[in-house]
Amino acid sequence: MKQAKLLALLALRRGQTVSPAECAQELWADQAPRSAGAALHTYIRKLRELVAAGIPDIDPKTVIVTRPGGYTLNPLSVQIDAEAFERLAERGHRAMAGGDDAVAAARFRQALALWRGPALSDLPRGPLLTIHAKELEERRRTALDRCISAELRLGRHYELLGELVAYATADPTHERLHAQLMLALHRAGRRVEALQVYRDLRRELTSRLGIEPAPHIRDLYRAILSADRSLQSEPTREREPMVA
C-alpha cells in the first residue's frame, strides 16, 4: 500500500521533484522509522520493477527519475486522468467566460465523466495526499456547479432533476446545489417541491451550523413563493446570480 501511496504522490506532482522528506511525510506522517530512507529506496525500486514489467521497451529509470532533490515522475511517460480533467474543465471555464454555454456544458461533462468516485478513495491517505484529494474534489465541485448553471440556462431543467436531487441529498448543506434544484423544480412546474427544498436546506443550515441561507437563496425562495414569472424564462447570467 505504501508503494501505491508513493506512486500517487509522484503522479499528482508529475514533472516536479518530490523530496525524500515529503515522501516520508506522506508514508509515515510524523512517525517515520529510522529505516525510512532505505525503505523509500526499496519502494522506488519496486515501482520501477512494475514499470519494467508493464512497459518492457522503456528504461524504468526514465519514468521514475532520481533527481538531486528527490524523485520525479517523467511527465512525458504517463498520462493521468487528473490532468485530462483539468484541461477539459479549463476549456469549459473559457467557453463560459465567452458566453457559450453549450460548449461549456459539453466540456464540463467530458471532464466530470473522468471521475470514478471520490478522489484517491482507494488509498489510505497521508497528509500530502489528503491535501491533494481536497484540492481535486474542490475543482470537481466547481466544474459541476458551473456545468449545471450552464445547462439550466440552456433550458435543460427536466434532464437535471434526477441528478440534482441526488447531489442535494448527498450534501444537505450545499446552498448552490439546492438553489439549482429549486430553480429546476420550479421550471418543471413543481413549485411546492421547490419551496420544500428551501425549507429543508434552511432546517439543515440552522440546526447544524446556526446560520440562515444566503441572501440570494432567500430571494429565490421569495420569487418562487410569489410565482415570479421571470423565473420561467431562460435567464441570462446577469439575471441569475443566485445559481450561475
Residue ranges of domains in the chain: 2-73, 157-244
Q: Cβ contacts of residue 35 below 8 Å, gap of 6+?
A: none
Record the cell numbers describing residue 31, joined without a space. 512517525
Place of cell 517515520: 32
Q: Is domain 2-73 annotated with CATH 3.30.300.30?
A: no
pLDDT at 233: 56
Report how far residue 42's alpha carbon sits from residue 197's, in angstroms, rounded to the nearest whole number.
54
pLDDT tens for 101-127 read: 999 999 999 999 999 888 887 888 889
Which DSSP string do the residues of 53-92 spell out, in sequence order?
HH-TTS-GGGTEEEETTEEEE-TTT---HHHHHHHHHHHH
Q: Is the CB of residue 202 less than 8 Å from the CB of residue 217? A: no
pLDDT value at 234 more than 70:
no
Cα of first residue to Cα of last residue in the chain, in angstroms, is 41
> What is the reported pTM?
0.82
Q: Is domain 157-244 annotated with CATH 2.60.40.420?
A: no
pLDDT band at 178; cut points 50, 70, 90: very high
